[in-house]
Amino acid sequence: MSTAKKFAGQTAIYGLSTIAGRVLNFFLTPVYTYSYSTGVYGVLTTMFSWASILNAVMAFGMETTFFRYLNKHSDNQKKVYNNAFASVFSITLVFLLLTLPFIGHIANFIDVGKGTTHKDFITYIDYFIAILVIDAWCVIPFAKIRAEGKPGRYGIIKFINIVIFISLNLIFIWLIPYWINHHLTGSVWLSHWFAKGWVGYVFVSNLIASIITLLLLLPEFLKIRFDFDKKMLSEMYAYSWPVLIANLSFIVNENLDKLLLGKLLPQGISLHEVGVYGACAKLSLFLSIFVQAFRLGAEPFFFSHAKNKNAGHTYARIMDYFVIAICAIFIGLIANIEILKYFISNKSYWVGLPVVPPLLFGYVSLGIYMNLSVWYKLSDQTKYGLYISGVGAILTIILNVLFIPKYSYMASAWISLIAYATMMVLSYLWGQKNYLIPYNLKKNLAYIISSVVIVYLSFSIFKRNIFAGNALLVLFAGTALYFEWKDLKATFIKP
């Protein structure tokens, strides 16, 4: 029991630190949209989208490989740590060799509009190269902390990183301009170097937060030794590349549409469209956070119950409750979108609100896919995860290239839905053939279809009326409770 409690506590800390980071970063959205034009926010969206993709490349799936090889070589864990870090460090050296001599060319490729100057874009790239390298170096030390069962230290360092990043953003965007405008002590000195409205301060804040994180991880860095095993290193790279491709496929689905918007639309409007889409897409993160929280809690449970006689029925019951919960959140977010939109404090962004329903339904599909994915994880057929995410990535690329020039960000929102829905369907079909779980397909489809109809009524027919939307939410929840009450009572209420 103590082991289980320890495991649950560690999982909670890891999950909460990850989710807290996303939530707190979300609350920077009103700060950015209030302070920056749509074009400038488009710069932020573009740069962070590239960073998400490159972060995955730099880590190379080595975090997962590190845990696998710790178990495989439990008698020589120091060598595993050294080799894992050497792998990431080697990739960062290659990255620096491929980027530093060509920063000007990279800026020409990334610069997609008139939201900022070309000189500033070069500066942003300098910052991001440093951020990417430092963050990559921290991947394996963070994994080491987790492997040693130190969730408190992990959570504290992650929390400090978040607090520093957010605090510096607020200082650069609000506090210093206020200080200068009110001629407070030191305002003359500040005005000599401070550039009001410069979006580069967001990247400076990120870089400082990353440097401090690296310093906090110094005890882990000091344990690294240049004791490498070429055979082990080769095996680790071989194990990592499928993980990398699977991770990249998911990140492509999440970020490539924003990059393609910048490249495929005319320069005069590209950054504006990227900014509008990026800001309104933030509203869908509420559902994304729920999906991530579920995954963090469910995966350990799925594996721990795999050998139970009724495991399949347990997984099916979990799916029932998950579908109801995620559909209710889907409806609730749309029902209250007229309130949530004020997180985007600049009204010029609100033109993009129609992207929210398809993006949210895309996250519904992604959540169900993550729930379904238990079959290939438990049956050691992870190649199917690679196939499924690959199909999603290919759909994202081809359809965005075809439809963005005509339909702009609305195409991207619907394509995100198509990609995740396809992944969900493929996982169900392959799963039923390879690892049968008795899901209640008809019942789950009824809830999903009902939620889509209700969202359509709330958003399009009732024109986002809060009272009508929430009445439909209550109707959905009440109906679900009526039909599920007997099972809920039997499952959660002891006789």
Q: In this predicted model, what pLDDT tens digit does every residue of 131-145 receive, in sequence order? A: 999 999 999 999 888
The secondary structure of residue 172, as a DSSP letter, is: I
90 vs 13, higher pLDDT: 90
Confidence of residue 7 (pLDDT cuts 50, 70, 90): very low
Which of 61-65, 164-168, 373-377 holds the top average pLDDT? 164-168
Confidence of residue 2 (pLDDT cuts 50, 70, 90): very low
Q: Give percent of the chain with pLDDT exceeding 70.
A: 88
258 vs 139, higher pLDDT: 139
> Looking at residues 373-392, what average pLDDT do you find?
79
Confidence of residue 210 (pLDDT cuts 50, 70, 90): very high
> Looking at residues 56-79, what average pLDDT do you find?
80
Query: Does the structure show a pLDDT above 50 at 3?
Result: no
Considering only the C-alpha atoms of the chain, give the largest distance between any 2 of them, rounded to a whole number of Å.
73
Query: Does the structure show a pLDDT above 90 at 359?
Result: yes
Q: Are 369 and 226 in contact (CB under 8 A)?
A: no
> Looking at residues 98-115, what average pLDDT do you find?
78
- Taking only Cα atoms into account, the Rg of the chain, rounded to an integer number of angstroms, comes to 24
Phi, psi angle pair for 198, to nearest 5°: -80, 120
Distance CA(495)–CA(490), nearest Å, equals 8
Query: Does the structure show a pLDDT above 90 at 214?
Result: yes
Supply the pLDDT for residue 362. 93
Q: Which residues have CB under 8 Å from 170's CB, separation 6+?
A: 31
Q: Are 36 and 197 in contact (CB under 8 A)?
A: yes
Cβ neighbours of 111 (radius 10 Å): 22
> Looking at residues 251-270, what average pLDDT do you find?
82
Supply the pLDDT for residue 4. 42
352-361: string of b/e by CB count within 10 Å (b at 16+)?
A: bbebbbbbbb
The secondary structure of residue 62, as a DSSP letter, is: H
pLDDT digit string, tens, across residues 277-294 = 988 988 887 788 778 767
> Looking at residues 67-87, what average pLDDT do you find?
82
Contacts 24+ apart (CB under 8 A), 161-164: 161/21, 161/209, 161/210, 161/212, 161/213, 162/20, 162/21, 162/24, 162/25, 162/209, 164/205, 164/208, 164/209, 164/212
Distance CA(396)–CA(398), nearest Å, equals 6
Query: Does the structure show a pLDDT above 80 at 20?
Result: no
Supply the pLDDT for residue 296. 59
Q: Are 47 and 32 in contact (CB under 8 A)?
A: no
pLDDT digit string, tens, across residues 79-100 = 889 999 998 999 999 999 999 9
Cβ neighbours of 109 (radius 10 Å): 10
What tokens appear for 458 in the block? 């709330």
Query: Does the structure show a pLDDT above 80 at 68?
Result: no
196 vs 71, higher pLDDT: 196
Supply the pLDDT for residue 96. 94
Side chain identity at residue 337, one-letter code: I
Q: Are 276 and 409 in contact (CB under 8 A)?
A: yes
Q: Are 213 and 157 in contact (CB under 8 A)?
A: yes
Phi, psi angle pair for 371, to nearest 5°: -65, -45
What tokens appear for 385 in the block? 């995860």
What mean pLDDT is reported for the chain? 85
Which of 281, 268, 285 shows the shortest CA–CA distance to 409? 281
309 vs 135, higher pLDDT: 135
pTM over 0.75: no
CA angle, residues 453, 457, 463, in degrees to nearest 5: 155
Supply the pLDDT for residue 17. 64
Distance CA(173)–CA(196), nearest Å, equals 8
What separation in angstroms does the CA of 391 have from each of 248, 250, 398?
Answer: 12, 10, 11
User: What is the SS3 assignment for 375?
Assistant: helix
Q: Are 202 and 169 in contact (CB under 8 A)?
A: yes
To 10 degrees, what angle do helices 77-99 and 118-147 make? 170
141 vs 267, higher pLDDT: 141
Confidence of residue 493 (pLDDT cuts 50, 70, 90): low
Residue the block writes with tokens 């800390």 = 13
